[in-house]
């Protein structure tokens, strides 16, 4: 049985009882019934009629929240209905059936990731699924209670990108793998790779290298540390490779960048790295306050 850490929603403690998928075949009716606990459905696919006793049409993306002892009945027509179901007890005010149920594509991909994690059974899947369940329960209750704020899709996307970004930034000084980042955010490597690239247009490793170069620029501007030391501090210990990466991203060698940004005379540069550039002719990629562009 999967469990989730204690969750508090608007001051109410929540206890998960069961998690399962529910499939209703086309042309089938489920007689009116009720449960002693709360029930949440996230419709993954299909359409159906739900009577509570008010009759409503529900379809893919709908979030349905039914309080304890709420009578309800299902009926499908030409389409089957597949939903992800959570049974739980909520201490405090029992959730009421909303006047208008929320729709959330974000929760659809969270559920699909969750199911993929269970199916793959990769090491650590149990902990990742627990994290997904926590997100689901929190979002279901927040959405159905009509909380204001960003759309679930945009909010979740920003949260994921920020989580990855900060983890990368905090660990620039050491080697990192996609597996480590995936474990930190509670996702499989494959799902994280696909989602992050769809959100940002770049891979995790490209983002990591870009951040390493950004940090190197700051260190070149603000410290007198030798180039090999700076390479070590940003996780690129090979001096030759550090110089290649830096030039590829900025258009200049690290030495020339430092000379230019500090306004030092070209005479202070070595004969090899003496910079002939003026401010106007300097490569745009390394002018002050300009973003680093990926390849």
CA distance 48 to 75: 6
Is the model's pLDDT at 151 over the cut of 70?
Answer: no
What range does the domain containing 262 cover?
213-286
CA distance 44 to 46: 7
Asked whether residue 81 is domain-assigned, the answer is yes
State which of 96, 112, 144 marks the end of a domain. 144
State which of 161, 179, 201 marks the end of a domain. 201
Is the model's pLDDT at 289 over the cut of 50?
Answer: no
Please list the alpha-helical segments (H only) found in the chain. 105-120, 125-144, 152-170, 178-185, 189-200, 204-222, 227-233, 239-250, 254-262
| Among 151-165, 189-203, 231-245, the least confident range | 151-165
Whether residues 189 and 100 share a domain: the answer is: no
Asked whether residue 207 is domain-assigned, the answer is no
Please state, rounded to an integer, the average pLDDT across all residues of the chain.
Answer: 75
Residue 232 confidence (pLDDT): 94
Residue range 238-248: mean pLDDT, rounded: 93
**What's the pLDDT band for 225 if we cut at 50, 70, 90?**
very high
List C-alpha distances in Å: 284 to 82, 92, 260, 279, 293: 53, 59, 12, 10, 10
How many domains does the chain divide into?
3
Whether residues 13 and 103 share a domain: the answer is: yes
Q: What angle do CA 250, 254, 255 make, to 5 degrees?
A: 135
Does residue 196 or residue 112 have the better pLDDT? 196
- Look up residue 248 and give its two tokens: 């590829």
pTM of model > 0.85: no
Asked whether residue 1 is domain-assigned, the answer is no
Asked whether residue 13 is domain-assigned, the answer is yes
Asked whether residue 244 is domain-assigned, the answer is yes
CA distance 168 to 178: 10
Whether residues 166 and 55 share a domain: the answer is: no
Whether residues 278 and 261 share a domain: the answer is: yes
């Amino acid at each position: 049985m999967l469990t989730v850490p204690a969750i508090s929603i608007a001051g109410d403690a929540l206890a998960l009882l069961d998690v399962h998928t529910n499939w209703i075949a086309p042309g089938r009716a489920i007689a009116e019934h009720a449960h002693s606990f709360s029930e949440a459905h996230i419709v993954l696919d299909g359409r159906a009629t739900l009577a509570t006793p008010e009759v409503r049409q529900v379809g893919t993306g709908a979030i349905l929240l039914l309080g304890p002892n709420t009578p309800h009945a299902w009926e499908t027509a030409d389409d089957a209905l597949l939903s992800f179901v959570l049974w739980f007890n909520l201490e405090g005010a029992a959730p009421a059936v909303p006047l208008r149920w929320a729709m959330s594509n974000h929760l659809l991909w969270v559920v699909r990731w969750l199911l993929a994690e269970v199916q793959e059974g990769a090491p650590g899947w149990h902990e990742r699924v627990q994290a997904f369940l926590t997100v689901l329960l929190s979002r279901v209750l927040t959405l159905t209670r009509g909380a204001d704020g960003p759309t679930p899709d945009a909010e979740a996307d920003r949260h994921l990108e920020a989580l990855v970004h900060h983890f990368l930034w905090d660990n620039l000084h050491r080697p990192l793998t996609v597996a480590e980042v995936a474990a930190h955010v509670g996702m499989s490597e494959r799902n994280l790779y696909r989602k992050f690239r769809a959100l940002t247009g770049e891979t995790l490793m490209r983002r990591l290298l870009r951040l390493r170069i950004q940090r190197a620029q700051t260190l070149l501007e603000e410290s007198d540390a030798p180039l090999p030391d700076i390479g070590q501090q940003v996780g690129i210990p090979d001096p030759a490779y550090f110089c290649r990466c830096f030039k590829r991203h900025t258009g200049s060698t690290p030495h020339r960048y430092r000379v230019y940004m500090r306004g030092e005379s070209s005479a202070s540069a070595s004969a090899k790295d003496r910079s002939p550039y003026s401010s106007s002719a300097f490569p745009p990629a390394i002018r002050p306050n300009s973003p680093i562009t990926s390849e």
